[in-house]
């Protein structure tokens, strides 16, 4: 597994990324990342993503993280996927984005609770469950594809 941590969400913060190989932890370089990393998802030896203010991707741990272009300029809270061609991101202002292996689709304004913030999610068997808040109320988004 991979764990990410930051001392605080500001430019002078320290970031840490650790990879556990089954017997020990390895520290992964953070070169290229912003200070707001909040979510990670990967398929070992294939693709690695980190989200926060931006979306970052690398194909090999230890290589610099590359910022993915074309994402909305809003905070991304969590990322999950089932394959390299089936990845979802949720975040602020009701952000839900899906990668189909070719391009990202951002469901900006297309879903209920658009002004809410999705803070966490899970995605398995084609079913997305995202939880968050809108004002003082809890919101849950259920969705999927065929």
CATH number at residue 36: 2.120.10.80
Looking at the structure of the chain, the number of domains it has is 1
Pairwise pLDDT comparison (66 vs 15), residue with the higher score: 66
pTM over cut 0.75: yes
What pLDDT is recorded for position 87? 98
Q: Which range of residues forms the domain containing residue 113?
A: 2-144
- Of the pLDDT bands very low, low, confident and very high (cuts 50, 70, 90), residue 137 is very high
Q: Among residues 131, 99, 92, 132, which one has the least CA distance to residue 115?
A: 92
Q: Is the pLDDT of residue 128 over 70?
A: yes
Q: Is the pLDDT of residue 113 over 60?
A: no
What pLDDT is recorded for position 35? 76
What pLDDT is recorded for position 107? 84
Q: Is the pLDDT of residue 12 over 70?
A: no
How would you classify residue 142: left for phi > 0, otherwise alpha for psi between -120 and 50, otherwise beta?
beta
pLDDT tens digit sequence for 67-97: 999 999 999 999 999 999 999 999 998 899 9
| Spatial separation of the C-alpha atoms in residues 26 and 16, rounded to whole Å | 10
What pLDDT is recorded for position 16? 84
Q: Could you tell me the sign of the dihedral formed by the alpha carbons of 31, 67, 125, 129, in that order? A: positive
| 3-class secondary structure, 90 | strand
Pairwise pLDDT comparison (105 vs 3), residue with the higher score: 105
Looking at the chain, the whole-number percentage of residues with pLDDT higher than 70 is 90
When pLDDT is averaged across residues 118-131 and rounded to a whole number, the result is 95
pLDDT tens digit sequence for 35-61: 788 899 999 999 999 999 999 999 998
| Spatial separation of the C-alpha atoms in residues 18 and 24, rounded to whole Å | 10
């Amino acid at each position: 597994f991979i764990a990410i941590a930051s001392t605080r969400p500001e430019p002078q913060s320290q970031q840490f990324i650790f990879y556990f190989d089954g017997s020990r932890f390895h520290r992964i370089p953070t070169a290229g990342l912003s200070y707001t990393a909040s979510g990670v998802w990967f398929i070992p030896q294939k693709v690695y993503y980190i989200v926060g203010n931006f979306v970052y991707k690398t194909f090999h741990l230890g290589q610099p993280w590359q910022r993915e272009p074309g994402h909305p300029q809003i905070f991304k809270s969590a990322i999950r996927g089932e394959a390299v061609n089936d990845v979802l991101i949720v975040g602020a202002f009701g952000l839900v984005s899906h990668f189909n292996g070719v391009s990202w689709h951002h469901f900006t304004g297309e879903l209920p609770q658009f002004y809410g913030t999705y803070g966490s999610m899970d995605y398995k068997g084609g079913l997305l469950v995202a939880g968050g808040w809108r004002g003082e109320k809890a919101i849950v988004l259920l969705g999927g594809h065929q």
